[in-house]
Amino acid sequence: MEINEGNPLFFATSSPRRKQILDMINLEFDFIEPIGDERTKMDQESIFDYVESLAIQKAKSIVGKVPSNSYVFGSDTVVFFEDRVIGKPNNKLDAVKTLRSLASTSHSVITSVCGYDISNDLVVVDSVETKVYMRDFDDIEIKSYVESGDPMDKAGSYAIQNDFFYPVEGIKGCYFSVVGLPICAFLEILTQLNLESIIDVDRNQGDFIKCTKCVMLCSVGKP
């Protein structure tokens, strides 16, 4: 589905999950891998300011590689547990340690999305926080999951959508934010940038229903 005519649309991401979400809801973007390394959070910086700065950094990192009349987008997701950011694991041992610490606990997943209208130098950014409740998995399950390789490119060392490990017991908030791209916030950004889009919610109702108090479902009269 084309959401804009005349201005190219680019998403700065190397994440297959974000690409899958955009493909699932039938939005057409060109993808470019963001340039540069992510910085670490400063001590006095709020977690939201931090994540939003990363999303903006990703979007703006590709400006020199696209036409000057483009819209570019970026997104970043962090796991926030016991007042610290948990990023992607450095190795398998790190993944095991992280999963052990998260078992039977709760944490926040915060995803920020940035849209940048290059021509007008306009930045629009939004964030979604979801509370995630992890189930009580044991060491055998953890080691088997880590050996599968799935945790190695994911913040918090897990994927909520993994049916083999099934790490999450429940959430309060946006399911897609935990996967990597909150559709509700993304559509709001498109609206603020005067880009129009229509998403077939009924087609993807099985996924939207995983969100608690989902604004996508409410917008079409769903419970």
Instruction: Give me the active site residues, please.
Output: 76
| Of 76, 77, 96, 103, the residue nearest 148 (C-alpha) | 96
Check if the beta carbon of residue 179 is closer than 8 Å to that of residue 161: yes
Q: What is the dihedral sign for C-alpha 176, 177, 180, 182?
A: positive
- Amino acid symbol at 173: G
Neighbours of 44 (CB within 10 A): 6
**Distance separating alpha carbons of residues 208 and 95, to the nearest angstrom:** 29
**Distance separating alpha carbons of residues 101 and 64, to the nearest angstrom:** 41
Q: Which two tokens stand for residue 48?
A: 């939201």
Q: How many CA atoms lie within 13 A of 149 on its CB side?
A: 0
**Angle, helices 92-102/139-148, rounded to nearest 10 degrees:** 140
Check if the beta carbon of residue 55 is closer than 8 Å to that of residue 133: no
Neighbours of 135 (CB within 10 A): 14
